[in-house]
Amino acid sequence: MVLVMESDGSLTPSRSQNSFARNYNDGVGQGSAADELAILGETDLGPDEIQMAAFSRPAPLPRADVLSAIEATALRYAGHPGLRDADLSVRDWLTLYRANIEVESAYRQDAISSAGAIGLGQLMPATARDLGVDPRDPLQNLDGSARYLAMMLEAFGDPRLALAAYNAGPDAVRQYGGIPPYRETQNHVARVMAVLARLEGSNS
């Protein structure tokens, strides 16, 4: 269970998104397996207004082989036009992709969410089929998730919107003209950006 601080300072259990983000058909990260963080305060925030205050358990440490596979997969897509469209350097892309994997699965190859998302990148079976990958194969899962995130960067030209589309589906981002007002999706974007900041700090 994730506790979320409300505007009056009280802590309440986060509410299910069964009627929102968990029902999309073309997204990836339905009900991510790693939900250790939650943004604090109000929801319904725009892309530039998501509050970065968050609390978490200690950051998960990836196994060396998993980290190596994440980096190799990210480098395979370093020439994708989505990086250029989002004005990301190769280093920025590597860090963004790794942060998304950390939030999605805590680097667990066998992670399966309550919504049925599978593996390191938490690919839904239908999305994996569309991408032509086996989501239960860790390397194919990473390939599909990298390709999908790069496609979302190309579609939206902004890392936050790409993360929202990865979580809630591109149709939801288009429908709302930004990050959808789903707590799960807003939390996902905030968590990835918080991990991104931590990873960038450790690399400097």
Give me the residues paired with residue 47 across strands.
Answer: none
Contact 141, 163 (CB under 8 A): no
Residue 89 to residue 78: CA distance in whole angstroms: 8
Q: Based on DSSP, count helices (H) and strands (E) in the chain, helices before strands.
A: 8, 4
Domains in the chain (CATH in brackets) are: 3-203 (1.10.530.10)
Which amino acid appears at position 1 of this protein? M
- Mean pLDDT, to the nearest integer, of 59-79? 95
Known active-site residue 104: yes
Query: Quick one: how far is CA 19 from the chain centroid?
Result: 19
Which of the following is catalytic: 6, 49, 71, 104? 104
The pLDDT score that the predictor gives to residue 48 is 45
Give, as one character, the DSSP assignment of residue 123. Answer: B
Q: What is the pTM of this model?
A: 0.75
- What digits encode the pLDDT tens for the residues 110-136? 999 999 999 999 999 999 999 999 999
Contact 188, 31 (CB under 8 A): no
Using DSSP's 3-state secondary structure scheme, residue 166 falls into: helix
13 — pLDDT class (breaks 50, 70, 90):
low
